[in-house]
Amino acid sequence: MLLKLDHVQKQYKDFRLDCSFQVEEGCVTGVIGANGAGKSTAFKAILGLIKTDGGRIEILGKDQKEVTAHDKESIGVVLAENTFNSMLTAGDAIKVMRAMYHRFDKGRFLNKCEQYGIPLKKQIKDFSTGMKAKFKLLVAMSYGARLLILDEPTVGLDSVTREELLDEMREFMEQEGRAILISSHISSDLEGLCDDLYFIQGGSILFHEDTDVILSDYATLKVDVEQYQKLDKSHIMYQQRRPFGYELLTREKQFYKDNYPGIVMEKGTIDSLMAMAAKGEAL
Amino acid sequence: MKGLLIKDFRFIFKGKRMAVRLLAIALFLLFLQGIENCAFIITYITMVAGMMVLGTISSDEYDKSNAFLMTMPIDRDLYAKEKYVFSFACSLAGWLFATVLCTALQAGHWEEVLAQAAVIFLILSLFQFTILPVQLKFGGDNGRMVLVGIMAVIMVAALLLEKGLQILLPGVEPEELYLRVTEWVKAQNIWAIGIILCAVWLACLGISLAISKRIMQKKEF
């Protein structure tokens, strides 16, 4: 296991984080939730950028408080808002990286910069949103990290650029012993990339599920009041009142398919899960 | 630390125009003040060079790149230490430039110029030791406000000291007091004075650095 959070807590004036999750070797684990759900706070806690009020974080098999500068060379990071000082250029960043990371692969980094059209002499502040996002990810993947921690790496990008970055992440995962923790509120990115997903809301993990299971076993049922009253609700996770009756989320799609053939059923998606978890009533 | 130093030096080299402007102002002031006023020019150039560290701290804070830096293979203590090394390196470069310039212009009084330059460097270092923790604690604009407050307190303290001395030593003018102190210093063993000053300087550096490290340890990004 490359990362484990055990009831990590952080109290702010009007927000409380209390979450547990883990990232296994060889896995891409996604954290999904609405803005303000606690994704960035959890990531900052993992990276030691904020002090926690309780709980335990284990990273690369060590307590986070014991992580050394040497250990940090095995962790690649993309933060949603920050990267190098924006007055610097990619060329400056190369010099800094060479001095900081023993395994910095300058040749590969330069090739990737050329491939993605990242200028070496332009100041980072003048980069476009897409350019900056690509640059941040290439930096994180330039020194042979085992664990990538990516906070909203695709936010604000067009679909072509997003797909390019997702391909980079897939290529990163081709080597054994690696893992990615990624947060996003763009569900399609996570559906095609993640092995498992954690849903975070109000600072807590609502539930954890394998992506394949979400896509194969989950479904949204749309029923009128009469159908609702007759329905076996033992496999319903969330329900929400709608003008036509009820919208219900189940993890047992096949059960309802077999026993209630007349019911309108939509395939489970991360978006439908998020929406129901955020607004629905848990059963 | 090498990576952080590279980052900061490359950052200040982006402001080449500013450095040229500051140098032009220094030379203009030198012309205005006359070459005999070396103390001013050494103070000005050393101070401006040393202040460049404030620009790097503000810039790290401004675009929150310090959060990203903390994810790199450094720790918070090293970040604080690097700011002292960077500040010392810049001050030293400015001081050397100004001292060589003034010594060349006043070749006849080079010993006096060097003595003045050494005292100026020590005093400005103490000033740096004060502003670095303030800047790390309060950052950009707030840090500058706090510095203005500190300067005001120092000025009030100096005025009070002057008044106090007038009461304790009635009839003694400040110039006379300065001469008396100078005579007393000259009468002492120069090595002993040097060692004491170095010890005080190191103690101040140690205290300032310890405060800065503590500030960084408590900081959240």
Among A47, A88, A101, select the one facing B7 at the smallest CB separation.
A88
Partner-chain contact A99 B2, CB within 8 Å: yes
pLDDT, tens digit (0-9, with 9 covering 90-100), for A1-20:
899 999 999 999 889 999 99
Domain co-membership, A264 together with A196: no
Domain co-membership, A28 together with A144: yes
The enclosing domain of A127 has a CATH number of 3.40.50.300
| Axis crossing angle, helix B2-13 with helix B76-105, rounded to the nearest 10 | 50
**pLDDT band at residue B33 under the 50/70/90 scheme:** low
Q: Which residue of B has its CA nearest to A85?
A: B65
Domain that holds residue B8: 2-218
**pLDDT band at residue B52 under the 50/70/90 scheme:** confident
Last residue of a domain, one of A166, A192, A211: A211
Phi-psi region of A26 (alpha: psi -120 to 50; beta: other; left: phi over 0): left
Domain co-membership, A184 together with A136: yes
d(CA B7, nearest CA chain A) in Å: 6
pLDDT score of B144 more than 80: no
Number of domains in chain A: 2
Last residue of a domain, one of A186, A211, A236: A211
Domain co-membership, A170 together with A78: yes
Domain co-membership, A266 together with A162: no
ipTM of the complex: 0.85
Partner-chain contact A88 B10, CB within 8 Å: yes
Domain co-membership, A26 together with A110: yes
Judge whether A11 is closer than 8 Å to chain B, CB to CB.
no
**Rg (Cα) of chain A, in Å, rounded?**
21
Judge whether A123 is closer than 8 Å to chain B, CB to CB.
yes
**Rg (Cα) of chain B, in Å, rounded?**
20
pLDDT < 70 stretches in chain A: none
Judge whether A205 is closer than 8 Å to chain B, CB to CB.
no
Among B3, B59, B71, select the one facing A85 at the smallest CB separation.
B59
Domain co-membership, A207 together with A225: no
Domain that holds residue A160: 3-211
Contact residues, chain A, for B53 at CB < 8 Å: none
pLDDT, tens digit (0-9, with 9 covering 90-100), for B148-171:
888 788 888 888 888 887 788 777
